[in-house]
């Protein structure tokens, strides 16, 4: 079943007379519970795709259906509600609030999301149950990224959007984070969408989407994706 | 979100302290400045009430030596006296409704006296300037040999003050006026004449001439309705020798003019300081909100609406502003109360703290002024920031 459907979606940025078509009549269908990797060079439109799917922006043309609901015409407040309920974000920078402890950073979403999961359970799931009272500055980069994943998951979203989630991590820590994300798809049935430059990550994906010049160049399903350990990092 | 606001404040103690101090400064400027201005106005009002008389007549020598403008701020006119026969001549002037005499005497800084102080003797039967004040202060009758003390005289009812080796029990303490009258003691004419005799015996008052029972320091006159006090004063100055009649309105007007000038300068200074601090505060909140754009973008990304984000920032700023302005208001009251005497002396004007109602209004105005600055600046900045590209902010890290 398609959890996400892009129909003729375009996003045009205008600056005076200059017009930039970041996405150009994109059509796309993404299945639920899949581990999806979006590849493409800088400026290809990956981030625009993620912004539209994440409810951070509205398309100029076309419709975006998420679980059967059109999100392309939602107002700013409706998009905020959509983000609170349906999508979680993980970025290259961890974006944790420095004045809050690990558990407080995760529990933050409990006051925002309509159906949150236990903060303790999420931290346990990412292997940080022993660090709940520490502050972000006391954790390593990999640990901070795991906190940000726990925070994204604690909202209990249908889709987890990850923008270069391993970009700031060494390969060893990156593998740990990718394993964690993969298990979220396999064990929790979440749809994980990763935007990256890293071709290796694509080897473990169920679906690989290549974007270039604002268009979908290819959308391939991989019948037998590699396990994280099989990939040569 | 309520806990998040407090957590954020506690988690950044340096920033919170800086904002607290700025708000305190603004509140101190608004409330403290307002209190000083209000105290000066109240002091002038009190001076008007206390004077009561339309015309005051004093010995010409005293008028030459005494700065009339500060006559009633000082309380007395010094060691100059006139004879009772002069008072009889004054009493014959047309247009006088009531007339009362007072005698002023200064105690000595010597072993004979507990404290250096001005003693004012008045006639309770004819008096119309001090008696109403005594009634306001709810003091009982003033028997011979007993004293009423001004609000700033350090003696309590039941205690005694030694003046010229005579021990005078304190019958009560008067309400403050904000003028030099607060540092004087009051007694009846027989009591002060006894003290004058004692002063002469000790050689403390060589300028007292004649029989103390036949001398007075000043004559207070209330004119009949419809009579111009100026006509009465002029008539006395023309017909009675060796005295000077002064309209109290002219004293009040001079003080009021001084106050008005000072009030304008103070008001301008307060407004300038408040605007400056307000701008700094606004800039500080705006800058700090800008510094936290990543944090706000994270919250927006988690699904916090613009309104709720602005609410969170508003709450944080409101907590700091409330605490800072409350501390500023408290400090204003403390400082103005502690230094009211020094302020009055330094400004050379009557200085009396305003009523509780006026003080409360000033405090509320200061709180409101402070709450207009910080929270508004923070909420406006947060709302502006929430319109920025959240995804871009977070990708940039």
Tell me the chain A residues in contact with residue B16 when contact means C-beta distances shorter than 8 Å. none
Nearest to B302 among A82, A93, A155 (CB): A155
- Residue in B297, B302, B395 closest to A108 by CB: B302
Taking CB atoms and an 8 Å limit, are B304 and A155 in contact across chains? no
The sign one gets for the Cα dihedral B46, B49, B54, B55 is negative
**3-state SS class at B221:** strand
Q: Which residues pair with residue A221 across a beta bridge?
A: A207
Q: Do A109 and B302 touch (CB under 8 A)?
A: yes
State the pLDDT at residue B221: 92
Q: How does pLDDT run across B19-56, given as a tens digit for each residue?
A: 899 889 888 988 998 998 898 888 877 777 666 788 98
Q: Which two tokens stand for residue A27?
A: 């059509």
Residue ranges of alpha helices (H) inside B340-389 are: 340-347, 356-386
Q: Exposed e or buried b for every residue in A94-107, given b needs 16+ CB within 10 A? A: bbbbebbbbbbbbb
d(CA B70, CA B350): 10
pLDDT at B387: 64
Per residue in B163-222, pLDDT (tens digit) is: 888 888 888 888 777 777 788 888 988 898 888 888 877 765 545 556 777 888 889 999
- The whole-number pLDDT of residue B314 equals 82
The answer for residues whose C-beta is within 8 angstroms of residue B246's C-beta and 6 or more apart is: B55, B56, B57, B58, B63, B68, B71, B233
Hey, is the C-beta of A2 within 8 angstroms of any chain B C-beta?
no
Q: Rounded to whole angstroms, how far apart are CA atoms B242 and B247?
A: 17
Give CA–CA dist A112/A46, Å, rounded. 27
Looking at beta carbons, which residues of chain A come within 8 Å of B13?
none
Q: What is the pLDDT of residues A65-92, one digit of tens each?
A: 999 999 998 998 899 899 999 999 988 8
Q: What percent of chain B has a predicted confidence (pLDDT) above 90?
A: 14
Q: How many helices (H) and strands (E) does chain A have?
A: 7, 10
Facing A84 at nearest CB: one of B4, B297, B303: B303
- Contact at CB, B303 and A93, closer than 8 angstroms: no
Under an 8 A CB cutoff, do B389 and A92 touch? no
With an 8 Å Cβ cutoff, are B394 and A84 in contact? no
Q: Is A47 in CB contact (< 8 Å) with chain B?
A: yes
Strand partners, A162: A90, A194
Is a pLDDT exceeding 90 seen at residue B147? no
8 Å CB contact of A99 and B12: yes
| pLDDT tens per residue across span B331-369 | 999 999 888 878 877 777 778 888 889 899 999 988 888
Q: What is the pLDDT of residue B137?
A: 59
CA angle, B390 as apex, A138 and B305 as ends, to 5°? Answer: 95
**Cα A192 to Cα B397: distance, rounded to the nearest angstrom:** 22
Residue A211 has pLDDT above 90, yes or no: yes
Asked if B306 has any chain A CB less than 8 Å from its own CB, the reply is yes
User: Do A89 and B301 make contact, defined as CB atoms within 8 angstroms?
Assistant: yes
Tell me: pLDDT of A164 over 90: no
pLDDT digits (tens, 9 = 90+) for A34-70: 999 999 988 899 989 998 999 988 999 999 999 999 9
- Measure in Å the smallest separation between the Cα of A75 and chain B Cα atoms: 11
Q: How many Cα atoms sit within 13 Å of A129 on the Cβ side? A: 7
Residue B215 is encoded by which pair of tokens? 């001398």
Q: Give the model confidence (pLDDT) of A130-146 as tens digits.
A: 999 999 999 998 899 89
Task: Provide the token pair at B383.
Answer: 């709302």
d(CA A139, CA A101): 11
- CA separation (Å) from A70 to A49, A161, A228, B9? 15, 18, 34, 40
| Least CB–CB distance from A97: residue in B295, B305, B394 | B295
CB neighbour class for A68 (10 Å; exposed up to 12, middle 13-18, buried from 19): exposed
Q: How far is CA B387 from CA A87, B254, B290, B309, in A?
A: 20, 59, 13, 11
For residue A39, list its beta bridge partners: A196, A210
Inter-chain contacts counted by CB atoms under 8 A, chains A and B: 82
Q: Cβ–Cβ of A93/B11 closer than 8 Å?
A: no
Q: State the DSSP H helix or E strand holding residue A181, giving kind and residue range, or none if neither.
A: helix A171-188
| pLDDT of B393 strictly over 80 | no
The ipTM assigned to this model is 0.83
Q: Does A233 have pLDDT greater than 70?
A: no
What tokens does B357 get? 């109602």
pLDDT at residue number A104:
92
Hey, where are the domains in chain A?
2-13+22-230
Indicate the residue of A56, A80, A85 with minimum beta-carbon distance to B304.
A80
Mean pLDDT of A174-202: 87
Asked if B389 reaches chain A (Cβ–Cβ under 8 Å), the answer is yes
Q: What pLDDT does residue B49 have?
A: 67
pLDDT band at B371 (very low <50, low <70, confident <90, very high): confident
The minimal CB distance from A91 to the residues B1, B305, B395 is found for B395
Decide if A104 and B7 are in contact by the 8 Å CB cutoff.
yes
Q: Label residue B396 by pLDDT band (50, 70, 90).
A: low
Write down the pLDDT at residue B311. 82
Q: Which of B299, B302, B394 shows the shortest C-beta gap to A93? A: B394
pLDDT band, very low/low/confident/very high, at B67 (cuts 50, 70, 90): low
Please name the residue of chain A whose CA is at the shortest distance from the CA of residue B2.
A111
Tell me if chain B has a CB within 8 Å of the CB of A138: no
Higher pLDDT, B179 or A98: A98
The class (CATH top level) of A2-13+22-230 is: alpha beta
DSSP A36-94: EEEE--TTSSHHHHHHHHTTSS--SEEEEEETTEE-TT--HHHHHHHHHHHEEEEESS-
Residue of A nearest to B11 (CA): A99
Could you tell me the two tokens for B325? 């302005």
């Amino acid at each position: 079943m398609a959890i996400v459907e892009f129909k003729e979606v375009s996003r045009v940025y205008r600056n005076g007379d200059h017009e930039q078509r970041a996405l150009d009549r994109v059509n796309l269908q993404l299945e639920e519970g899949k581990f999806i990797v979006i590849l493409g060079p800088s400026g290809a439109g990956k981030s625009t795709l993620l912004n539209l799917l994440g409810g951070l922006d509205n398309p100029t043309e076309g419709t975006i259906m998420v679980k059967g609901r059109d999100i392309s015409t939602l107002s700013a407040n409706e998009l905020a509600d959509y983000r609170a309920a349906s999508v979680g974000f993980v970025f290259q920078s961890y974006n944790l609030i420095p004045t809050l402890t690990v558990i407080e950073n995760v529990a933050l979403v409990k006051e925002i999301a309509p159906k949150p999961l236990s903060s303790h359970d999420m931290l346990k799931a990412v292997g940080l149950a022993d660090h709940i009272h520490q502050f972000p500055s006391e954790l390593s980069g990999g640990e901070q990224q795991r906190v940000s994943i726990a925070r994204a998951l604690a909202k209990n979203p249908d889709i987890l959007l990850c923008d270069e989630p391993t970009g700031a991590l060494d390969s060893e820590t990156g593998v740990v984070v990718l394993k964690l994300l993969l298990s979220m798809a396999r064990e929790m049935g979440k749809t994980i969408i990763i935007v990256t430059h890293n071709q290796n990550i694509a080897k473990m994906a169920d679906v690989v989407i290549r974007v270039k010049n604002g268009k979908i160049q290819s959308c391939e399903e991989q019948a037998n994706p590699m396990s994280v350990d099989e990939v040569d990092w | 979100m309520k806990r998040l606001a407090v957590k954020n404040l506690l988690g950044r103690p340096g920033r919170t302290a800086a904002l607290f101090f700025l708000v305190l400064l603004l509140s101190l400027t608004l409330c403290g400045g307002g209190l000083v201005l209000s105290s000066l106005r109240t002091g002038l009002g009190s001076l008007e009430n206390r004077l009561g008389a339309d015309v005051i007549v004093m010995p010409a020598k005293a008028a030459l030596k005494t700065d009339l403008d500060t006559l009633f701020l000082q309380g007395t006119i010094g060691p100059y006296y006139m004879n009772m026969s002069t008072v009889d001549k004054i009493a014959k002037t047309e247009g006088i409704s009531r007339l009362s005499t007072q005698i002023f005497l200064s105690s000595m800084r010597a072993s004979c006296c507990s404290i250096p102080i001005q003693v004012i003797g008045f006639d309770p039967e004819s008096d119309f300037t001090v008696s109403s004040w005594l009634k306001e202060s709810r003091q009982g009758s003033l028997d011979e040999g007993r004293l009423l003390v001004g609000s700033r005289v350090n003696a309590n009812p039941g205690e005694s003050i030694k003046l010229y080796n005579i021990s005078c029990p304190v019958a009560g303490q008067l309400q403050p006026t904000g003028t030099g009258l607060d540092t004087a003691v009051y007694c009846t004419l027989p009591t002060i004449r006894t003290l004058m005799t004692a002063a002469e015996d000790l050689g403390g008052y060589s300028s007292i001439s004649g029989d103390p029972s036949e001398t007075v320091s000043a004559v207070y006159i209330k004119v009949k309705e419809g009579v111009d006090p100026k006509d009465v004063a002029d008539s006395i100055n023309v017909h009675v020798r060796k005295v000077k009649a002064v309209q109290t309105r002219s004293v009040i007007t001079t003080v009021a003019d001084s106050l008005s000038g000072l009030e304008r300068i103070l008001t301008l200074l307060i407004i300038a300081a408040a605007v400056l601090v307000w701008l700094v505060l606004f800039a500080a909140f705006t800058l700090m909100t800008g510094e936290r754009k990543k944090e706000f973008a994270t919250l927006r990304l988690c699904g916090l609406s613009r309104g709720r984000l602005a609410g969170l920032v508003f709450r944080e700023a409101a907590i700091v502003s409330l605490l800072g302005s409350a501390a500023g208001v408290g400090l204003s009251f403390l400082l103005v109360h502690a230094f009211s005497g020094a302020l009055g002396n330094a400004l050379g004007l009557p200085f009396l703290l305003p009523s509780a109602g006026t003080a409360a209004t000033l405090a509320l105005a200061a709180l409101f002024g402070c709450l207009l600055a910080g929270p508004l600046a923070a909420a406006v900045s947060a709302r502006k920031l929430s319109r920025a590209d959240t995804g871009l902010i977070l990708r940039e890290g």
